[in-house]
Amino acid sequence: GENVEQHPSTLSVQEGDSAVIKCTYSDSASNYFPWYKQELGKRPQLIIDIRSNVGEKKDQRIAVTLNKTAKHFSLHITETQPEDSAVYFCAASKGGTYKYIFGTGTRLKVLA
Amino acid sequence: NAGVTQTPKFQVLKTGQSMTLQCAQDMNHNSMYWYRQDPGMGLRLIYYSASEGTTDKGEVPNGYNVSRLNKREFSLRLESAAPSQTSVYFCASILGQATNNEQFFGPGTRLTVL
């Protein structure tokens, strides 16, 4: 069945360093890949997304890259700050079904 | 706009009891979703409704039923609660059009089954 694998499960970085989280999806028909940030006790919120017709997208300190051939996509956060500490989820969906499959999450800790 | 709202925020049930989790959105979204979130398991899709009048199973539908009452409301029912259903439940919605797929989540319901 459809599956999204996410690595690593935990990641600690020093403030100011970069963080990279990777996801691999199984359904080659997936065409939309969002990333969500979830702070402790809060709801997940969209931080960036990418569609299958684009290889890279940037928004200030965050960027997402997509490799359709390898079926993987990555979240890059540069110049990390303590407020970036949270759990990050990737997801994949296939147009027409609007069904989303989420990765298992990465707990990012930014150490001051 | 309230966005996506869920009731209740917290609930404790005994094994075998039933309850319904309520979700409503005021964004005129077409598609609605129910997820459960367990530690280390991410968000797992229980059921979804691509449009009013339709519902489909997700990854973990067993033990749950849903009703898309109207365009605004999507409820999740546990007929006979089990300890394995202890979790945080999130409702979500999307506009459903091809160019806008952002999911908006509700605040969650923390359910404990004893």
User: pLDDT 10s per residue in chain B (114 long)?
Assistant: 789 999 999 999 999 999 999 999 999 999 999 999 998 778 999 999 988 999 999 989 999 999 998 999 999 999 999 999 999 999 999 987 666 588 999 999 999 999
Determine contact, residues A45/A37, Cβ cutoff 8 Å. yes
Query: Å from A3 to nearest chain B CA?
Result: 10
> Residue B99: what pLDDT?
62
Residues on A contacting B at a C-beta cutoff of 8 Å: 1, 6, 9, 32, 34, 36, 42-46, 49, 89, 91, 93, 95, 97-105
Query: Å from B45 to nearest chain A CA?
Result: 7
The pLDDT-based confidence of A77 (bands split at 50, 70, 90) is: very high
Determine contact, residues A50/A35, Cβ cutoff 8 Å. no
Say how far apart CA A55 and CA B39 lie, in whole Å: 32
Average pLDDT (A45-74) is 94
> Residue A2: what pLDDT?
80
Say how far apart CA B18 and CA A91 lie, in whole Å: 31
Position with higher pLDDT, B59 vs A8: A8
Residue A109 has what DSSP assignment?
Answer: E
Span of A21-25, A28-32, A88-92 with lowest mean pLDDT: A28-32
Query: Å from B15 to nearest chain A CA?
Result: 25
Q: Is the pLDDT of residue A26 over 70?
A: yes
Computed from CA positions of residues B56, B60, B62, B63, in that sequence, does the dihedral angle turn out positive or negative? negative
The count of other CB atoms within 10 Å of the CB of residue A78 is 14
Closest residue in B to A39 (Cα) is B107
CB neighbour list of residue B82: distance below 8 Å, 6 or more residues apart: B15, B63, B113
A9-23, A95-109, B41-55, range with greatest mean pLDDT: A9-23
Residue A83 sits at φ, ψ, to 5 deg, of -75, -5
Q: How far is CA B92 from CA A38, B47, B63, B103, in A?
A: 14, 11, 20, 6
Shortest CB distance from B106 goes to which of A43, A98, A103?
A43
Average pLDDT (A7-29) is 96
The pLDDT-based confidence of A110 (bands split at 50, 70, 90) is: very high
> Residue A1: what pLDDT?
65
Q: Could A102 and B44 be called an inter-chain contact, meaning their C-beta atoms sit closer than 8 Å?
A: yes
Residue B84 sits at φ, ψ, to 5 deg, of -65, -10
Nearest CA-CA partner of A4 in A69, A74, A51:
A74
CB neighbour list of residue B99: distance below 8 Å, 6 or more residues apart: none
Closest residue in B to A43 (Cα) is B107
Residue type, B16: G
For tokens 């300890």, the residue is B83
Computed from CA positions of residues A74, A88, B25, B69, in that sequence, does the dihedral angle turn out positive or negative? positive
> Residue B50: what pLDDT?
87
